Amino acid sequence: MQIDRELDLKGEVCPFTFVKSKLIIEQMDKGQVLRVILDYKPSVENVPKSMEMEGQEVLAVNQIGENLWEVLVRKVK
Amino acid sequence: MKLLLIMASNYFNTLVKFARAGLKRNDKVSIFFMANGTYCLLHDDVKKLAEEGAKIYYCAHNANQRKIEPQPWAESSSMYGLSKLISENEKVISLS
């Protein structure tokens, strides 16, 4: 899968994880994929939820380390 | 009616009374726990409200800060989730 933008949010907590993700995805074109790196479990649950509420497509939430996750989001609108 | 109760304090008995009154009227009752209100998630009466039909949400970040473990009958949410709930409900009562 092609990743168009990557956002490393290690060390960030809610609500900044979603706010920063939203600001980036607003700059992207429809169809592009954003990869968000998170190390805060509550954000791993809620960034994808909030993205879906915003009308974006969450492609995957993968654990990639002991306390590290990636969220893949395709911009739909 | 769609009723949202926002709980950010320790007015627990008031919350339960509002919620039960809403459920008795067949309102669709949602409760959002945030800040120190998340401590109420440890109370058995909140689980009972969920069993009686209230939809329970909580700010995952606030609960995490207070070392409150997630409960299966409560849905993890956020400030963004709260903003959506406020716009979706007809009446909003904030206990703060």
ipTM above 0.95, yes or no: no
Q: Is the pLDDT of residue A6 over 90?
A: yes
* Domain housing B23: 2-95
What are the start-end ranges of the E strands in chain B?
2-7, 28-33, 55-59, 75-77, 91-95
- Confidence bin at B37 (pLDDT 50/70/90): very high
* Residue A60, strand partner residues: A72
Report the distance separating Cα B5 and Cα A65, nearest Å: 38
The size of the A-B interface in CB pairs under 8 A is 40
Q: How many residues are recorded in chain B?
A: 96
CATH number at residue B53: 3.40.1260.10
Section B16-28 average pLDDT: 97
Provide the number of structural domains found in chain B.
Answer: 1
Per-residue pLDDT, averaged over B25-48, amounts to 96
Residue B34, pLDDT > 90, answer yes
Q: Would you state the pLDDT for residue B70?
A: 86
Task: With CB atoms and an 8 Å threshold, state whether B76 touches A50.
Answer: no
CA-CA-CA-CA torsion sign (A49, B20, B25, B95): negative
B61 and A53 within 8 Å at the Cβ level: the answer is no
Grouping H, G, I as helix, E, B as strand and the rest as coil, residue A58 is strand
Q: Which residue has the tokens 């993700």?
A: A21
Respond yes or no: is residue A45 known to be catalytic: no
> pTM for this one?
0.90
Instruction: Note the pLDDT tens digit of each residue in A19-53.
Output: 999 999 999 999 999 999 999 999 999 999 999 99
User: What integer is the mean pLDDT of B20-35?
Assistant: 97
Total tally of structural domains belonging to chain A: 1
CA atoms within 13 A on the CB side of B88: 13
Q: Report how far apart, in Å, the C-alpha atoms of A1 and of each of A16, A27, A55, B22, B84 are.
A: 26, 20, 21, 48, 31
Residue B4 CB coordination number (10 Å): 23
Mean of per-residue pLDDT scores for chain B = 96
What is the average per-residue pLDDT within B44-49? 96
> Nearest residue of B to residue A44 by CA position?
B60
Q: CATH number of the domain at A43, please.
A: 3.30.110.40
Spell out which residues of chain A touch residue B77, defining contact as CB-CB under 8 Å: 46, 49
> Cβ A42–B80 below 8 Å, yes or no?
no
Percent with pLDDT over 70 in chain B: 100
Q: Which helix (H) or strand (E) holds B30?
A: strand B28-33
Share of chain A above pLDDT 70, in %: 100
